[in-house]
């Protein structure tokens, strides 16, 4: 009897200790709404994404200058390597990081933290294996004619990217762990550090080869090879930072392990099955843009040879206009959607795990409104300043500027697809989103030849617009039918966002047109002045209208009151 009493006491203390730890560990999370978590996580991911993308675009200015007359050839070569790399990277990560993030959030919602940790360990092993296999395949496939289009410089570039393909899955896996716990800061900081180290290595080696080197005319492909190898250097820096962050938060993770219910026993086989099942759509769906771009790379030159008499060098220049030059800049604004989606997946998974239909609907509507609020003005603003912006990054080129302006409009569709795909994955509609992606891509394939034949560098973008448009339309229609999403509740907010974005676009475009009559926008310094002035006035106007109409309050909450008071705007 005494023994039984003692056991009862131990059991009571154990339960008390667990409940206390649970209260301490989750008190902060429980006091934060899903919308606040989305905003907080989005703030970190947006800051990191924008800074990384801006840094990843700004390096182009000195990089292009050092390549001199070879800059378009270098851009085209860089892009050919990176398009293949993007697909290989998606295969090597196999969607595992995003899948891990989603599964960890799922088990954490059930207080089964140890299952999540076990998932992470198995996922790390799987990421090393897939990374190694993909790196070997990249090395073997590098000389393939279908990938190089007969360009002998492409194969060495692809080989330099194989190390990055091996390292990156483990880096992404660790980011997935932190994101599954809604800890966006470590993931965001590692992303920025990765980009800083990459750019420093890239610019240093390019300067040594193209400026200090003895024969830059002969060695410019070597400079491109070192620029692509920089991806591996940056990835190693990012993973070292995350190891440090994991060590810093080790006590928090230990406490989560202690409060785990341990009511679910998941076998290793089942864990691997769950990872792979979740990973497949996370591989295919985010690869959509890269798949479209690789298709452009494989088909553009063939169609141009069949329909024009342009030299290969001229075809390369046209290819660089849309696939590298414009794409590099618009991905800055597309990163806004990527940041929102990275935060939204675990939050949507949690409410969906609890079968909270009302909460799921609310989360979907809020995510779409937040996307529109940040994406529309950013994309339209970029389109408004396309001419001086293209000049700033590259050189003055009217064809290049036209391609950039159209690409800026297309970025809205890229971003919308990213968000809608995230929503579908967050509510476990993986098969549907893959089907819709395939349908859109088939449309792209059908339209590619006539579009390129008619519009040349704009042609692939037109085919891409229609392809993504079809996929997005199918998702919107499905959500309305299956989940009873009432888009009408968004109309008042979306109408304001569209109106204010159009006003911003018109004002920014007028500023550029007026400045064009006063200063020569073909000079980089004056182009920078024009872009900065249009961005400050246009962005300030959008912020003013959003605050004055209380549109910002709907999405950002009470935190905007401080800004309104600072600007002395009436409530």
Model pLDDT for residues 377-401, shown as the tens digit of each residue: 999 999 999 999 999 988 899 999 9
| Distance of alpha carbon 61 from the chain centroid | 22
Lowest mean pLDDT among 172-186, 454-468, 499-513: 172-186
Model pLDDT for residues 55-88, shown as the tens digit of each residue: 777 788 888 889 888 877 888 888 888 777 777 7
Residue 148 pLDDT greater than 80, yes or no: no
For the chain, what are the domain ranges? Answer: 32-566
Q: Is 55 exposed, middle or buried (0-12, 13-18, 19+ CB in 10 A)?
A: middle
180-202: average pLDDT: 85
Residue 277 pLDDT greater than 90, yes or no: no
Tokens of 502: 């159009």
Residue 9 pLDDT greater than 70, yes or no: no
pLDDT: which is higher, 523 or 183: 523
pLDDT: which is higher, 200 or 216: 200
pLDDT band for 37, please (50, 70, 90 cuts).
low
pLDDT band for 353, please (50, 70, 90 cuts).
low
pLDDT: which is higher, 498 or 118: 498
Residue 342 pLDDT greater than 80, yes or no: no
In angstroms, the CA 84 to CA 293 distance is 9
In angstroms, the CA 177 to CA 171 distance is 10
Q: Would you call 110 helix, strand, or coil by DSSP?
A: coil
Q: Residues 98, 282: contact at Cβ < 8 Å?
A: yes
Residue 31 pLDDT greater than 50, yes or no: no
Q: What percent of the chain has pLDDT over 70?
A: 80
Model pLDDT for residues 293-334, shown as the tens digit of each residue: 889 988 999 999 999 998 888 888 898 888 878 888 888 888
Half-sphere exposure of 354 (CA within 13 A, CB side): 14
pLDDT band for 17, please (50, 70, 90 cuts).
low
Report pLDDT for 2.
42
Residue 3 pLDDT greater than 50, yes or no: no
pTM of model > 0.95? no
pLDDT: which is higher, 445 or 264: 445
Tokens of 464: 């891409």
255-282: average pLDDT: 74
CA distance from start to end of the chain: 69
Report pLDDT for 8.
41
Average confidence score pLDDT of the chain: 81
pLDDT: which is higher, 157 or 32: 157
Residues 6+ apart with CB under 8 A from 478: 429, 432, 436
pLDDT: which is higher, 409 or 424: 409
| Distance of alpha carbon 251 from the chain centroid | 31
pLDDT band for 469, please (50, 70, 90 cuts).
very high
Residue 13 pLDDT greater than 90, yes or no: no
pLDDT: which is higher, 427 or 505: 505
110-116: average pLDDT: 82
Tokens of 304: 């141009």
Report pLDDT for 295.
92
Q: Residues 316, 73: contact at Cβ < 8 Å?
A: yes
Of 427, 503, 21, which Cα lies nearest the Cα of 257? 21
In angstroms, the CA 56 to CA 78 distance is 13
In angstroms, the CA 507 to CA 93 distance is 43
Residue 10 pLDDT greater than 50, yes or no: no
Query: What number of other Cβ atoms are within 10 A of residue 135's Cβ?
Result: 21
Report pLDDT for 484.
77
Report pLDDT for 145.
54
Q: Residues 212, 137: contact at Cβ < 8 Å?
A: no
In the chain, what's the furthest Cα-to-Cα distance? 97
pLDDT band for 23, please (50, 70, 90 cuts).
low
Q: Residues 56, 195: contact at Cβ < 8 Å?
A: yes
Q: DSSP states of 506-523 as a string? A: HHHHHHHHHHHHHS-TTS
Lowest mean pLDDT among 66-75, 92-101, 402-411, 496-505: 92-101
pLDDT band for 7, please (50, 70, 90 cuts).
very low
């Amino acid at each position: 009897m005494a023994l039984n009493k003692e056991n009862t006491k131990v059991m009571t203390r154990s339960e008390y200790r667990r409940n206390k730890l649970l209260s301490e560990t989750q008190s902060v999370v429980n006091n934060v709404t899903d919308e606040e978590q989305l905003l907080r996580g989005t703030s970190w991911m947006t800051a990191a994404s924008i800074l990384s993308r801006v840094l990843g675009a700004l390096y182009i200015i000195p990089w292009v200058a050092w390549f001199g007359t070879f800059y378009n050839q270098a851009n085209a070569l860089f892009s050919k390597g990176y398009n293949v790399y993007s697909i290989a990277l998606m295969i090597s990560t196999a969607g595992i990081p995003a899948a891990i993030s989603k599964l960890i959030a799922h088990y954490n919602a059930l207080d089964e933290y140890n299952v999540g940790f076990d998932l992470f360990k198995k996922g790390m092993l799987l990421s090393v294996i897939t990374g190694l296999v993909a790196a070997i395949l990249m090395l073997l496939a590098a000389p393939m004619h279908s990938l190089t289009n007969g360009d002998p410089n492409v194969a060495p570039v692809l080989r330099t990217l194989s190390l990055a393909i091996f390292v990156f899955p483990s880096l992404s896996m660790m980011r997935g762990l932190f994101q599954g716990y809604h800890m966006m800061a470590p993931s965001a900081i590692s992303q920025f550090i990765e980009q800083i180290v990459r750019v420093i290595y890239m610019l240093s080696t390019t300067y040594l080869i193209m400026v200090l080197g003895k024969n830059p005319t002969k060695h410019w492909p070597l400079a491109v090879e070192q620029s692509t190898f920089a991806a591996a250097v940056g990835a190693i820096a990012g993973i070292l930072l995350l190891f440090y962050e994991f060590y810093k938060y080790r006590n928090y993770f230990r406490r989560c392990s202690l409060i785990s219910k341990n009511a679910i026993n998941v076998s290793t086989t089942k864990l691997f099955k769950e990872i792979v099942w979740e990973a497949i759509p996370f591989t295919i769906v985010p690869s959509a843009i890269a798949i479209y771009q690789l298709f452009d790379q494989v088909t553009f030159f063939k169609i141009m040879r069949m329909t024009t008499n342009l030299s290969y060098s001229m075809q390369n220049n046209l290819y660089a206009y849309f696939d590298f030059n414009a794409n590099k800049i618009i991905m800055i604004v597309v990163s806004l959607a990527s940041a929102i989606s990275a935060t939204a997946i675990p939050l949507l998974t949690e409410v969906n795990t609890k079968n909270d239909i009302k909460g799921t609907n609310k989360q979907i509507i809020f995510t779409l409104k937040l996307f529109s609020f940040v994406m529309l003005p950013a994309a339209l603003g970029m389109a408004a300043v396309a001419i001086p912006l293209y000049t700033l990054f590259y050189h003055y080129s009217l064809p290049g500027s036209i391609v950039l302006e159209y690409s800026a409009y297309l970025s809205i569709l890229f971003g919308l697809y990213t968000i809608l795909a995230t929503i579908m994955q967050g509510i476990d509609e993986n098969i549907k989103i893959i089907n819709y992606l395939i349908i859109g891509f088939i449309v792209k394939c059908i339209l590619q030849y006539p579009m390129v034949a008619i519009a040349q560098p704009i042609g692939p973008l037109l085919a891409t617009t229609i392809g993504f448009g079809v996929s997005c339309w199918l998702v919107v229609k499905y959500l309305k039918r299956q989940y009873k999403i009432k888009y009408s509740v968004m109309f008042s907010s979306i109408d304001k966002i569209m109106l204010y974005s159009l006003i911003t676009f018109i004002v920014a475009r007028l500023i550029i047109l007026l400045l064009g009559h006063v200063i020569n926008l073909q000079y980089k310094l004056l182009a920078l002045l024009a872009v900065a002035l249009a961005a400050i006035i246009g962005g300030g106007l959008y912020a003013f209208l959003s605050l004055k109409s209380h549109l910002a309050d709907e999405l950002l909450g009470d935190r905007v009151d401080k800004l309104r008071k600072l600007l002395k705007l009436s409530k």
